[in-house]
Amino acid sequence: AQSVTQLDSQVPVFEEAPVELRCNYSSSVSVYLFWYVQYPNQGLQLLLKYLSGSTLVKGINGFEAEFNKSQTSFHLRKPSVHISDTAEYFCAVRPNSGGSNYKLTFGKGTLLTVNP
């Protein structure tokens, strides 16, 4: 089984400041890792994913994340945030093989609030 811990439930920042949203996971098998974003009253949208290869992955809207296998982490970063980045961010994992490789397990989410 897999589990995902998002260490901060809320992160307030000022516009143009850098931000890091933390994610740690636990799994007995190798996993793929994902970050999703949910804007108010909308569904989830894929921000970026790590499947293999370079541990630094870049996504939409200037976000990037780094996979650290030894620390079982997949933290999300952006060097300069905008008001429009205000949303809830979810980290998720999925086994990369085996019979349950379809099942995404999500963290509880981090609400990023960008203030002017």
Footprint of other proteins on this chain (CB under 8 A)?
A: 9, 36, 41-46, 49, 90, 92, 94, 100-109
Report the nearest approach of other proteins to the CB of residue 15 (Å): 26
Report the nearest approach of other proteins to the CB of residue 70 (Å): 25
Closer to other proteins by Cβ: residue 43 or 116: 43
Are 105 and 23 spatial neighbours (Cβ–Cβ below 8 Å)? no
Closer to other proteins by Cβ: residue 15 or 61: 61
Report the nearest approach of other proteins to the CB of residue 16 (Å): 29
Closer to other proteins by Cβ: residue 15 or 27: 27
What is the distance between the alpha carbons of residues 22 and 48, in angstroms, rounded to a whole number? 15
Can you give 9-68 as a three-state secondary structure string?
A: CEEEEECCCCEEECEEEEECCCEEEEEEEECCCCCEEEEEEECCCCCEEECHHHCEEEEE
